[in-house]
Structure 1
Amino acid sequence: MEKPVATLLWVDDEIENLTAHLTFLKSRGYLVDAVASGADALKLVDQRSYDLVFLDENMPGMGGLETLGELKKRKPFLPVVMITKSEAESLMEEAIGRQITDFLIKPVNPNQILMTIKKSLDNSRITHEITSRDYLQSSNRLNQDIDLASSADDWIEVFTSLTRWELAMASVQDDSIRQMLTDQKRQANLRFIRFVEDQYRGWVNAKPGERPLLSVDILQQVLVPELKSKQPVFYIVIDCLRSDQWMEFEARLTDYFTADTRYYFSILPTATPYSRNSLFSGLFPSEIENRYPDLWTYSVDSEESLNAYEAELLKAFFARNRTSLSQDPRYFKINTQADSKGLEQSFGNLIRQDLTAVVINFVDMISHARSEMGILKELAPDEQAYRSLSNSWFDHSFLKDLLINLSKAGVKVVVTSDHGCVRCTRGTRVNADRETSTNLRYKYGRNLNGDPKDILIIRNPNDFRLPKYSGNTNYMIAKQDAVLLYPNNYNQYQNQFRDTFQHGGLSMEEMIVPVSVLSPRLR
């Protein structure tokens, strides 16, 4: 005897009227038990294992909702589909609240029942198969898009398409198809890097509106238009947030906001001292150094001081551009739970403020902690697991609570990232003197050299609107997935930093980042 496709239990006090449905399901390979009361259903559930239960809502004696409650006590994860003649919304909400799998209104036809079974029991398998099929069908077109990409918009479309496929592939178990997507993304990155090397100098020296949206343009082109309504706005910068992470976060906010998300290019190096200062000043790093030398202080050993004046840079932007605010912007940097408590205590006043800027550092902390702590690397061995880790953080985070409260208060939010990060898989040898910065994806100093296949070497910082820390400052920026390592103890450090998430370099994951205007759904 062939093994049944699935074992079903149908509970209905008029079960004799459902013979045609039961016969249809049996003809499709399902094993079906049928009973006329909730009490009989509970006895069978205690004795046998079922894959799915169809449960009539209106039965004499033990009704459908009562039976549902008892079923869930015995088998909390047993899928139950409730069938009823009633279209009362209160009944639907009551059943949903008790975690039913689906809700059908009588009369039901056999194909409707079959669709419900497949949706309940075969959803994962069908999704895997359809996703794999659709990707294979679209991969040739995607290869053409990669080959023909010739503009910033083209590359944003290529990258976001690849990223959405990565998210869809998270449920696909076929390693060969997932590897195919990984290889396709690697080839796209190689072409993207050549594109940026060819175009970037022109971008940073062009006028706004004559170049793609860059870090320096977010204030004027995205934030300022939202302030013109004279309604409160929150400007939230999530340090080191990747585009794939934002896609996951945004999906969790659909009950609270409508999102207008676009993507822009982080300036180079894709590191906080450069890109985030540009997000708060509307200036390139060399302009900050020249205009506000007191606000651009640095140390080769620690660059944290370079982001110590973001509040002052934001205030200077509005003064410089003569944008009228009734009060100076408020600024919060959230590194600890104590920092978040400070913002929470001021929330009632902040939602009446023209502009509140908030920096969230926890995503960057996750990235660094994963690189430094073996246990986190075990928990998040690849991009999919890394997204899962950041999703878990977001679901229980101060940030999500803040966004929900802003939605309830009717406050619009501009959310962005200063840069992304990339999973590094290899090292590349570099030569530099002792005064060179210690970063793994970019360095500045004197007489820097390395393999141009792996490294973008900048001899003239002015071409890239970067500061000169000395008379002959050079920069080197790692390409694709390499980390910059010195020849001494090269193998040791390559093993140490292989398979870590880093930022500062040139890759789609680091450069193409989201900016989203969130409009509240709830008032």
Structure 2
Amino acid sequence: MVKILWVDDEIELLKPHVLFLRQKGYEVDTCNNGYDAIDMATEGGYDLIILDEMMPGMTGLETLPKIKEVRPTTPVIMVTKSEEENIMDKAIGSKIADYIIKPVNPNQVLLSIKKNVHQQQLVTEQTTADYRVEFGRISNALQMAENFSDWCNIYRRITSWDIELSESSDASIKEVIQFQKSEANQAFSKFVRRNYFDWINRRDDLTPVMSHTLMRSRILPVADENSKTTLLLIDNFRYDQWRSINPLLRGYYDVAVDDFYCAILPTATQYARNAIFAGLMPLAIDRLMPERWLNDNEEGGKNQYEEEFLRRQLQSNGKNYRWTFDKLVRPEAGRKLVDNIQRIYDADFSVIVYNFLDILSHARTETDIIRELTEDEASFRSLTRSWFEHSDLFTLLRLLSKRGHTVIITSDHGTIRVDNPIRVTGDRETSPNLRYKTGRNLSYNPREVYEITRPEDIQLPRINLSSSYIFAYNTDFLVYNNDANRFIRYYKNTFQHGGISMEEMIVPYIVLKPKQ
């Protein structure tokens, strides 16, 4: 039962109101002065306190801070005869939860109580009811989806509900949204399997913007239209993580575009990010610049030439911007860039690659404490927001807003939490990634993976003449038969990328305009 303390020097006149609340199921104690109110608040565990602002002896404004000393988290509703701005400022500054103007209406009091005591419960109940209605609509949309744009809309809707329901105390409804997400990913995987070859090899109106066409189709036109443009590419950045940081940017930017593009396979940095900056599929990079491409089985960094690729693409598209390129891997690099931000101000087009979320994903796999902090998508979003709020990247974006920069935020691919092991075998040359494998002599169940026996069919290079690729679906991950149980325990419920899922392939593409 909710317990309420009502403090008013004319409390006898308010007995009908007190009786009304008791009939509604509330336990209501009363007193008529601030001194007794402080004592009662100290001794009793009240869920809410209603406090009259004008009382003889100790006023409500004088009583309020003393109550807050002993019950700092208990919401206080201030009742006042005056609407003077300075009195309201004092009350709100003292952290009241709400205020009511006399004469008091019992329904007005009840509404304020519900807002401050039952809000979370009411929101949860309404949100759950709304989602139960939406569940059927999304299920129908899964059956009707015909193109990549349809799948972007489905992914946006499921992500929005996943975020809404993450605060729910109803465990069953959380299971329902996870089931629907899995069902959607199964259908999306079949959709990709049917269409991916055509997307790569035939350009038409239904072909989505993909990694290798992103720069010339989406990014360079924005740079042409705006005198100052900054591209921020955050590795491993998903749409739900964009939603988590978006509120922090609202005071500095308006969202001009909130859209998606399709990451190529494999959804891994080596392939997808190189394709973005080169404007070419990996097979073309390997053929045109063989000294700049390393296969999975070759030693060395796989993303060392992004700036060179970008320079080549800008030149081939006739762009004569003054431009900069920065890749931030370590925290001190962000601080250094903020200290030297003038070079970004002076550029027409600046590119910043930020690797923190990729590092965080790997840290979650390897570090127990990070794994505990990011046990599911909701906690991963929370950690992303906390990091961003205190990061040099947020500082950088605030500074760019003041200087009128248009900002594009995107990623090379997303990531997905895996939980279902799929066993494969291969030789020592086989790539180690958990969401895709490439090599020769791969052995697997072809019904469990998307297999590409001729890599050139989807514009991927071969490690050797007989190599092939396989890609994991949904939340599957690929493990070798040798010592499989140890690998399953180690990697289950970790965030991985490289395969086929909405989270990995449907990548956010956001354009922010600085507030005037």
Partner of residue 175 from structure 1, selected from 152, 171, 178: 171
- More displaced 10-residue stretch of structure 1: 339-348 or 89-98: 89-98
Change (3 A) 1:452 1:77: same
Q: Which runs of 4 or more aligned residues in structure 1 lie more than 6 Å from their structure 2 counterparts after TM superposition?
A: none
Q: Structure 1 residue 418 and structure 2 residue 412: aligned?
A: yes
Residue type matched to 2:281 in 1? F
| Contact 1:208–1:217 (8 Å) recurs in 2 | no
Residue 457 of structure 2: aligned partner? 463
- More displaced 10-residue stretch of structure 1: 162-171 or 38-47: 38-47
Structure 1: gaps of 5 or more residues = none
Partners of 1:106 and 1:257 in 2: CA distance: 41
TM-score of the superposed pair, with normalisation by structure 2: 0.92
Q: Percent identity?
A: 39
CA-to-aligned-CA distance 1:444-497 (integer Å, 9 cap, x gap): 222333212221111222221222343343212111222222222222222222
- More displaced 10-residue stretch of structure 1: 281-290 or 259-268: 281-290
Per-residue deviation at 1:301? Answer: 5.5
Change (3 A) 1:430 1:22: same
- More displaced 10-residue stretch of structure 1: 22-31 or 267-276: 22-31
- More displaced 10-residue stretch of structure 1: 401-410 or 124-133: 401-410
State the secondary structure of the residue aligned to 1:150: coil
Residue type matched to 1:360 in 2? Y
| Contact 1:366–1:390 (8 Å) recurs in 2 | no
| Contact 1:10–1:32 (8 Å) recurs in 2 | yes
Partner of residue 193 from structure 1, selected from 189, 198, 213: 189
Residue 409 of structure 1: aligned partner? 403
Residue 285 of structure 1: aligned partner? 282
Partner of residue 114 from structure 1, selected from 103, 110, 113: 110
CA-to-aligned-CA distance 1:329-379 (integer Å, 9 cap, x gap): 212222212111111111234234212211111111111111112232233
Q: Structure 1 residue 397 and structure 2 residue 383: aligned?
A: no
TM-score of the superposed pair, with normalisation by structure 1: 0.91
Partners of 1:31 and 1:181 in 2: CA distance: 37
Residue 336 of structure 2: aligned partner? 342
Partner of residue 162 from structure 1, selected from 155, 158, 161: 158
Partners of 2:200 and 2:148 in 1: CA distance: 13
Q: Structure 1 residue 385 and structure 2 residue 379: aligned?
A: yes
Residue 310 of structure 1: aligned partner? 306
Partners of 1:453 and 1:90 in 2: CA distance: 71
1:188-337 aligned within 5 A = 188-207=184-203, 210-259=206-255, 260-298=257-295, 300=297, 305-325=301-321, 327=322, 329-337=323-331
Change (3 A) 1:429 1:81: same
Partner of residue 481 from structure 1, selected from 472, 475, 478: 475
Partners of 1:126 and 1:302 in 2: CA distance: 57
Residue 368 of structure 2: aligned partner? 374
Residue 423 of structure 2: aligned partner? 429
CA-to-aligned-CA distance 1:299-318 (integer Å, 9 cap, x gap): 52556x22112222222222
Change (3 A) 1:505 1:62: same
Per-residue deviation at 1:38? Answer: 3.3
Residue 79 of structure 1: aligned partner? 75
- Computed over aligned residues only, the root mean square deviation of the Cα atoms, in angstroms, reads 2.4
Q: Structure 1 residue 453 and structure 2 residue 450: aligned?
A: no
Q: Structure 1 residue 508 and structure 2 residue 498: aligned?
A: no
Change (3 A) 1:41 1:269: same
| Contact 2:424–2:443 (8 Å) recurs in 1 | yes
| Contact 1:80–1:102 (8 Å) recurs in 2 | yes
Per-residue deviation at 1:209? Answer: 5.0
Structure 2: gaps of 5 or more residues = none
Residue type matched to 1:271 in 2? A
| Contact 2:453–2:467 (8 Å) recurs in 1 | yes
Partners of 1:86 and 1:272 in 2: CA distance: 62
Per-residue deviation at 1:73? Answer: 1.7
| Contact 2:147–2:206 (8 Å) recurs in 1 | no
Q: Matched residue pairs, number?
A: 515
Partners of 2:284 and 2:16 in 1: CA distance: 78
Per-residue deviation at 1:27? Answer: 2.5
Change (3 A) 1:492 1:117: same
Change (3 A) 1:55 1:234: farther
Residue type matched to 1:198 in 2? R
